[in-house]
A and B are shown apart, each in its own frame.
Chain A
């Protein structure tokens, strides 16, 4: 085989190609949340972004987080948001603009934040180990053990927080008349 005059760039792996596809789904979903005029389209974009994030977790080999993401965000939070949209509509659709009075300032602040974040992310040399996770390493079992040993008090407090929050939500949304 003759020697090439320049080294070929490394081919992307299957994982990287899948990641780019899922990242594009997430980006399009979040853009729909931001730009859609109809609030229902925003909610659909939010579901797409949640699914994309779940795929990102699974590619990063955090399967439990990915499944929790689908259960909690796609299953529960999206449904709640859709209910809230249906309960509060009336005059929110039609000729009104989706942006508020300060949206110009918001756009400037957001683009500056994005530029600073990108400069930080790409400027810092992060220490990386990138060790492979071999078969048979029970990550989900380790998570369960950590939740009932080292993190037992935050875990129980979180359960209490969820209970109080849901009771408070019922009280807040109740019709007082």
Chain B
């Protein structure tokens, strides 16, 4: 069996990569990809802790939570991409450095 730590290390790396994409990329779509990576890292942790819990065949809460996360991510990406397309239609750019209307 794969040790629990391996899953945790993998998910920590994927989460950090997603965080950097969300904070440091210029294109709004790349930011959305980073958010998807972070959600995937959370799912890896949920599944790993489900597998190493007591009686994994009966206590399915970790898997159920992961399925909820997948569904919410699908809703989130649909809304996010619609917002990006709407912004592109109005401003002709999805460059986040140019979208600073709220800056004081």
On whether the beta carbons of A143 and B60 are closer than 8 Å, the reply is yes
What mask results when residues 31 to 54 of chain A are scored 1 for a CB within 8 Å of chain B, else 0?
Answer: 101100001001100100110010
Q: Of B74, B92, B94, which is within 8 A of A162 by CB?
A: B74
Interface size band for A: 35 or more
Output the nearest chain A residue to B94 by Cβ-Cβ distance: A88
Out of B4, B64, B72, B77, which one reaches A80, CB within 8 Å? B77
Whether A60 pairs with B48 at a CB distance below 8 angstroms is: yes
Is A30 in contact with B18, judged by CB distance below 8 angstroms?
yes
Chain B: residues with Cβ within 8 Å of the partner, total of 75
Neighbouring A residues of B58 by C-beta, 8 Å: 142
Smallest beta-carbon distance B36→chain A, Å:
7
In the bound assembly, the distance between CA atoms of A154 and B64 in angstroms comes to 11
B24 → chain A closest CB, angstroms: 3
Nearest CB in chain A: distance from B57 CB, A: 4
Which chain A positions have C-beta within 8 A of B24?
99-100, 102-103, 106-107, 110
In the complex, how many angstroms separate the beta carbon of A155 from the nearest chain B beta carbon? 9
Task: Please name 30 pairs of A and B residues whose Cβ atoms are closer than 8 Å in the assembled complex, sorted by A.
Answer: A15-B2, A16-B2, A16-B6, A19-B6, A30-B14, A33-B37, A49-B14, A53-B40, A59-B2, A60-B51, A72-B74, A77-B77, A80-B81, A85-B29, A88-B29, A88-B85, A102-B24, A103-B23, A110-B17, A110-B20, A121-B8, A133-B56, A133-B57, A139-B57, A139-B60, A139-B63, A146-B60, A158-B72, A165-B75, A173-B85
Q: What residues make up the interface of A, taking CB atoms closer than 8 Å to B?
A: 13, 15-16, 19-20, 23, 26-27, 30-31, 33-34, 39, 42-43, 46, 49-50, 53, 56-57, 59-62, 64-65, 68-69, 72-73, 76-77, 80-81, 83-85, 87-88, 90-92, 96-103, 105-107, 109-111, 113-114, 117-118, 121-122, 126, 128-133, 137, 139, 142-143, 146-147, 151, 154, 158, 161-162, 165-166, 168-170, 172-173, 175
Top 6 nearest A-B pairs (CB, nearest first) are A106-B24, A106-B23, A165-B75, A103-B24, A172-B82, A169-B82
